[in-house]
């Protein structure tokens, strides 16, 4: 029986990751200057397009007093050779229907339903990879509330969260570890997809670029 008014609160079931090559040779790796991430292997590596980065930074900088946020969409992939999993974030959807306030950002069932509808119609084939929000003058960490939201609205192990501090120009990703746990004080960097020719656009002061081409492959990936 057809029923289009069914409310979808839980995320759509996700199939296996897309099999491709990890595009490390097209990216610049940014790592935290202070908390080394070598001891805590993340479930997925995060690849971020420059457009997506700029879009989130512009949104984050639009309000230095209240939290703002939104969603990140793209692909969930697995490297064909070494099996490492990664996500590619190339689409940013700023949240419009949140209760903004200095205390915290709220995602409601309504905003989540609106999001899945919009994602399906405007970006068919893209997955909800995670969410981002700002912590003006508060620093980069995951609050209890953030952890609750993440667990309830982004339950897949490969879904990630980005916290941006627009006042001090810092930011970091919160990514589950391979055992499914998430460290609320430990953030990760990401891979900036530069497509070789472009210059970096990353300006966060808490991250530094390192060279990490992984197992180099001359085949050019279309992302
Ligand atoms: Zn927060």
The per-residue pLDDT for range 164-174, each reduced to its tens digit, is 999 999 999 99
146-159 core/surface letters (b: 16 or more CB in 10 A; e: else) = beebbeebbebbbb
Dist. CA 154 → ligand 1 center (Å): 14
Dist. CA 106 → ligand 1 center (Å): 10
Dist. CA 171 → ligand 1 center (Å): 12
Q: Is residue 173 included in any domain, yes or no?
A: yes
Dist. CA 162 → ligand 1 center (Å): 9
Q: What's the domain count of the chain?
A: 1
Dist. CA 146 → ligand 1 center (Å): 5
Compute the average pLDDT of residues 118-137: 92
Q: Is residue 166 included in any domain, yes or no?
A: yes
**Domain extent for 107:** 34-209
Dist. CA 136 → ligand 1 center (Å): 10
pTM score, whole prediction: 0.85
Is residue 187 predicted with pLDDT exceeding 80?
A: yes
Q: pLDDT confidence of 221, banded at 50, 70, 90?
A: very low
CATH code assigned at 81: 3.40.140.10
Dist. CA 83 → ligand 1 center (Å): 32
Q: What is the DSSP letter of 142?
A: -
Q: Is residue 219 included in any domain, yes or no?
A: no
Q: Is residue 182 included in any domain, yes or no?
A: yes
The pLDDT value recorded for residue 219 is: 38
Q: Which of 29, 26, 23 is nearest to 210 (CA)?
A: 29
Tell me what percent of the residues of the chain surpass a pLDDT of 70. 80
Q: Is residue 22 included in any domain, yes or no?
A: no
pLDDT tens for each residue of 37-64: 556 789 999 999 999 999 999 999 998 9
Residues contacting residue 212 through CB under 8 Å, at least 6 positions apart: 24, 29, 191
Q: Is residue 25 included in any domain, yes or no?
A: no
Distance from the Cα of residue 146 to its chain's centroid: 14
């Amino acid at each position: 029986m057809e029923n289009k008014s069914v409310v979808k609160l839980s995320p759509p079931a996700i199939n296996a990751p897309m099999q491709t090559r990890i595009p490390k040779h097209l990216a610049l790796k940014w790592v935290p200057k202070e908390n080394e991430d070598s001891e805590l292997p993340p479930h997925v590596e995060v690849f971020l397009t420059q457009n997506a980065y700029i879009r989130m930074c512009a949104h984050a900088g639009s309000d230095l007093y209240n939290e703002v946020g939104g969603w990140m969409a793209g692909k969930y992939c697995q490297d064909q050779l070494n099996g490492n999993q990664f996500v590619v974030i190339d689409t940013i959807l700023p949240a419009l229907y949140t209760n903004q306030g200095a205390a915290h950002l709220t995602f409601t069932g309504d905003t989540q339903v609106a999001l899945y509808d919009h994602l399906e119609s405007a970006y068919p084939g893209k997955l909800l990879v995670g969410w981002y929000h700002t912590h003006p003058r508060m620093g980069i960490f995951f609050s209890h509330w953030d952890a609750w939201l993440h667990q309830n609205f982004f339950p897949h192990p490969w879904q990630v969260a980005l916290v941006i501090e627009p006042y001090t120009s810092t930011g970091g990703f919160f990514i589950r570890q391979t055992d499914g746990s998430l460290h609320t004080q430990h953030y990760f960097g990401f891979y900036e997809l530069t497509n070789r020719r472009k210059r970096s656009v990353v300006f966060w002061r808490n991250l530094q670029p390192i060279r990490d081409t992984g197992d180099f492959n001359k085949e050019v990936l279309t992302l």
